[in-house]
Amino acid sequence: MTNQILSEREKKSVKWLTFIMFLIFAMTTDAVGVIIPEVIKTFGLTLTQAATFHYATMIAIAVSGICLGYLGDRFGRKLTIIGGLALFALASFLFAVGSSFGFFLLLLVAIGTAVGIFKTAALALIGDISSTPAEHTKTMNLVEGFFGIGAIIGPALVVYLLAQGISWTYLYVVAGGLAVLLIVLASVSRYPEQAKEVDLSVNWKAAFSLAKDWYALFFSSGIALYVIVECAIYVWMPTWFLEYDGNYPLLATYALSVFFILRAAGRFLAVLVLNLMSWQMAMVVCTGAIFVCYLGSIVLGVNYAVWLLPASGLFMSLIYPTLNSKGISGFEPHKHSSAAGLILFFTAVAAAVGPLLMGVIGDFFGHLIFGFVFCAACAGVLFLGCIFNFIKDPSSQRLSAISSIHS
């Protein structure tokens, strides 16, 4: 295990650095939907070509998470985080000097690689500084809450820059500057020391080996289903809402903003919810509500979907950080980075493949709503999985088993 003897002030400092780290990379990843129309106009791209602005980063995060997630275990959280942030900052600054679509794609791959490096180490770090599984889950929800704030700030900043006649590329310059600030703060902050007993021969195969563990596969699959359901909102919901002909056109126009705001607010409220009920019950309630939102949108049509799909953001807020927390906590501390890398792999692959499948299904059947039917099915399976989790409670059994190993 890691040496976790940090003062409360040092723990808070490390937590805040992690919060801001997630906010910064959310500013870039979740602003892509606003950037793509500008890229299409500038380079005369097709929709399929422009979509690589989303897929390139996600695929790079997936590969980096699964192949480089072990770095946080082998070289320590602090060094790995600083290295990942340095690559992120360098790639972000280079956007200011680029002018070709291919060059921008290379930078997005570099940014995705950087995110995969520092995010897996940061997720493992949360486990290092959490005294109990309950604290770990609550902290993870706070981390994702700041991610939600970044998802609001990024697109808003792009819109502001474009309104002022400034290139969207300066979003990345701003993010790079914030990353440099974090590097400075992280370098002077005290992190939990690396365990002396950690096997330094650990490598990228460690994350793949965890895929054979039923526990890792259970939570990773749940996360993949959730990500498909969430990505449907910010990738395809605006396109579907172009068909809206009801009495609230303003709501249809700003539905995505409403979704992001509710998702961010919900992640802070999730901490209160977890104080009122068990995380297992909270997951059943939230996934059930999401399934109802999707089912209602499909059955009742787009005029109701403009209310139901944005509202689903409030219920989505608790799911990803909670599954992430329980998935990582089910392993010994020296395996946390590898577990985080596996989960990040499932996250990024689902984020890339899910929207693509929706488009293929929509084209095949002649309407985008059939893509949302696919996502409703994913939401239903996730709901059933959470009911199973509530009944069987595999995380409790797993954590007890791990505790007995060290007792």
pLDDT at 53: 81
CA distance 282 to 183: 36
| 2 closest CA partner among 192, 165, 173 | 192
How does DSSP assign 49-109, residue by residue? HHTHHHHHHHHHHHHHHHHHTTHHHHH-HHHHHHHHHHHHHHHHHHTTT--SHHHHHHHHH
Closest CA to 324 of 214, 240, 226: 226
Q: What angle do CA 297, 247, 151 make, to 5 degrees?
A: 60
Q: What is the pTM of this model?
A: 0.74
Residues near 330 by Cβ (< 8 Å), separated by ≥ 6? 215, 216, 219, 339, 395, 398, 399, 402
In whole angstroms, what is the distance from residue 94 CA to residue 317 CA?
A: 33
Residue 30 backbone phi and psi in degrees, to 5:
-90, 5
Cα distances from 249 to residues 93, 293, 297, 314, in angstroms, run 38, 20, 17, 21
**pLDDT by position in tens, the chain (length 407):** 344 567 778 888 888 999 999 999 899 988 877 787 788 788 987 766 777 887 788 889 888 877 887 787 778 888 999 999 999 999 999 999 988 999 999 999 999 999 989 988 888 888 788 877 778 878 887 888 888 889 889 888 988 898 899 999 999 999 999 999 999 999 988 887 655 444 444 455 666 677 778 888 899 999 999 999 998 887 788 878 878 898 988 888 888 888 988 988 887 788 788 889 999 999 999 999 999 999 999 999 999 999 999 999 999 988 988 898 888 877 877 777 777 778 878 888 898 888 888 888 888 888 889 999 999 999 999 999 999 999 988 878 777 766 555 44
Which tens digits make up the pLDDT trace of 9-34?
888 888 899 999 999 989 998 887 77
Give the model's pLDDT for residue 47: 62
As a 3-state breakdown, the chain gives helix, strand, coil percent values, each rounded to 5, of 85, 0, 15
Beta bridge partners of 193: 3
> Do 174 and 23 form a contact (C-beta atoms < 8 A)?
no
Q: Count CB neighbours of 231 within 10 A.
A: 22
Distance spanning both ends of the chain, measured CA to CA: 13
CA distance 124 to 334: 9
User: What does the buried/exposed string (b/e) look like for 44-77 if buried means 16 or more CB atoms within 10 Å of the residue's CB?
Assistant: ebeeeebbbbbbbbbbbbbbbbbbbbbbbbbebb
Residue 3, strand partner residues: 193
